[in-house]
Amino acid sequence: MAGKQGLPRDMNTKKPYQYPAACILSALLLATPGQAESHGATIRLPVSLKQLCRHGVMLALVGMLLTGCDQTEVAVEPPPAQVTVLTATPAPITLTDDLPGRVAAVRTAEIRPQVGGIIQRRLFEQGAEIRAGQPLFQINPAPFKADVDTAGAALQRAQSVLNRAQIQVARLKPLLSTGAISQQTYDDAIAQRDQAAADVAQTRATLARRQLDLTFATVESPIAGRIDQALITEGALVSTNDSNPLARVQQIDQVYVDVRQPASSLEQLRDMLSQRANGSDGVPAVILRGDGQPYPMPARILFSGVNVDAGTGDVLLRILVDNPQRQLLPGMFVRARVPLGHHDDALLVPQQAVTRSAGEAKIWVVDARNTAHVVTVELGELVNRQYRIRAGLSAGQQVVIEGGERLRDGAWVTTQNWKKVPSATDVVSR
């Protein structure tokens, strides 16, 4: 059964949008001049095409109104993104590079015999610190003592011959003035005296040489330092032509660290060396241990090489390091942190703040109105996981460190200061 004006009985006429089809049908029936019978109700029908078109337009308008009633849209602005920021602050920084190097002793002496003979004794503890002039080996001295005695006897004989020649000259000199002897006889006496004097000088030199050989029978260290193991044992026959030394002594209270640096980065280092040319300290450097920690004793760069390796393009750098505890030993591989340049007002941003797009480096910055903008920057060196910004960033600007992946250009943000989390791999290079 139909209710009032052909509407369903259960239809709430105060809320027609709950029954959009019934509303449309009722509007169409009420606006139609024709009539028809359907289920006992009187229905008006359009009588012309013109009226039908007019009623179609009305039907479309009613549908739009009903749609507006059913789907009301409310625009809600999203909350601002929260980001962490760091204020760009200029600071002085020294750029460094870690290069591999090898430790070498300041002085190295190969202990070799200066005379031949049988090794009787080893006079040192292997691996010990020794002083300059300390005896190390004893070669059998008996042959050299005999040579000294022989040379001494020859010197005495030559000295006696000289004494007799001198007496002869003194005796003949007054006879020459009286004409008792000829000039030739006197000249011969003078020649014999001079020859005897020369023989004395020669035998004296021979004696000195034999005494020196006797001294060389005790092999001494020419330098102070630490001695390695003995390379020969007692009872061995040695000579001055042996290819292997008896032992090696190395002075390691100071050591050299020889590193190789690319020639392309040498110009700035040479400028730093020239600035300190009048001083004795040189350019400071840092030696790193195997665990990456810096060696506590001071180190300084002495010089750079004058030749560039054609194969690698590197040049040699020599670093002098104090080594009082003998922790650095010759032959060890270490790393040396050498300076590459210095900047008084460098702007550094953490590595995670930098993104790349189309081959360009970009960062997010926040202006005074808390609006985020993306800017293109020119990157410099990477120092302790921070990029030095060459261009594109000004001092005092706030750089977004975390949260930039959720931003769009011009977005409103809320900020909080970024706090760096210390890392065990961080090193100081300023």
5-45 pLDDT, tens digit per residue, is 444 444 444 444 444 444 444 444 444 444 444 444 444 44
How much is the average pLDDT of 413-421?
83
- Amino acid 380: pLDDT: 86
Cβ proximity of 134 and 225 under 8 Å: no
Dist CA 230 CA 247 (whole Å): 5
Query: What's the chain look like in SS3?
Result: CCCHHHCCCCCCCCCHHHCHHHHHHHHHHHCCCCCEEECCEEECCCCCHHHHHHHHHHHHHHHHHHHHHHCCCCCCCCCCEEEEEEECCCEEEEEEEEEEEEEEEEEEEEECCCCCEEEEEECCCCCCEECCCCEEEEECCHHHHHHHHHHHHHHHHHHHHHHHHHHHHHHHHHHHHHCCCCHHHHHHHHHHHHHHHHHHHHHHHHHHHHHHHHHHCEEECCCCEEECCCCCCCCCEECCCCCCCCEEEEEEEEEEEEEEEEHHHHHHHHHHHHHCCCCCCCEEEEEECCCCCECCCCEEEEEECCCCCCCCCEEEEEEEEECCCCCCCCCCEEEEEEEEEEEEEECEEEHHHCEEECCEEEEEEECCCCEEEEEEEEEEEEECCEEEEEECCCCCCEEEEECHHHCCCCCEEEEEECCCCCCCCCCCCC
318-353 pLDDT, tens digit per residue, is 999 999 999 999 999 999 998 877 788 889 999 888
- Amino acid 172: pLDDT: 92
Q: Which CATH class is domain 250-342?
A: mainly beta
Residue 392, φ and ψ in degrees, nearest 5:
105, -10
Flag whether pLDDT at 47 surpasses 50.
no
Cβ proximity of 88 and 349 under 8 Å: yes
Kindly list the domain boundaries of the chain, sorted by start residue. 4-70, 84-91+345-417, 112-238, 250-342
Residue 289, φ and ψ in degrees, nearest 5:
-75, 180
Cβ proximity of 256 and 319 under 8 Å: yes
Flag whether pLDDT at 135 surpasses 90.
yes
Quickly name the fold that domain 84-91+345-417 has: 2.40.420
Dist CA 183 CA 169 (whole Å): 12
Q: Residue for token digits 């550094």?
A: 348
Dist CA 122 CA 232 (whole Å): 9
Give the pTM.
0.63
| Residue 117: how many other CB atoms lie within 10 Å | 20
Flag whether pLDDT at 105 surpasses 90.
yes
Flag whether pLDDT at 408 surpasses 90.
no
53-95 pLDDT, tens digit per residue, is 455 555 555 555 445 444 445 556 678 888 899 998 898 888 8
Alpha-carbon dihedral sign for residues 314, 316, 320, 323: positive
| Residue 89: how many other CB atoms lie within 10 Å | 11
- Amino acid 10: pLDDT: 47
Higher pLDDT, 104 or 342: 104
How big is the chain by its Cα radius of gyration, in Å? 53
Which range among 339-353, 372-386, 413-427 shows the weakest confidence by mean pLDDT? 413-427
| CATH architecture for segment(s) 112-238 | Beta Barrel (2.40)
- Amino acid 296: pLDDT: 92
Dist CA 68 CA 62 (whole Å): 10
The residues, ordered by sequence, that sit 6+ positions from 393 with a Cβ below 8 Å of its Cβ are 88, 347, 349, 363, 365, 375, 377, 399
**What's the mean per-residue pLDDT of the chain?**
81
Dist CA 256 CA 102 (whole Å): 8
Dist CA 274 CA 276 (whole Å): 5
Higher pLDDT, 170 or 302: 170
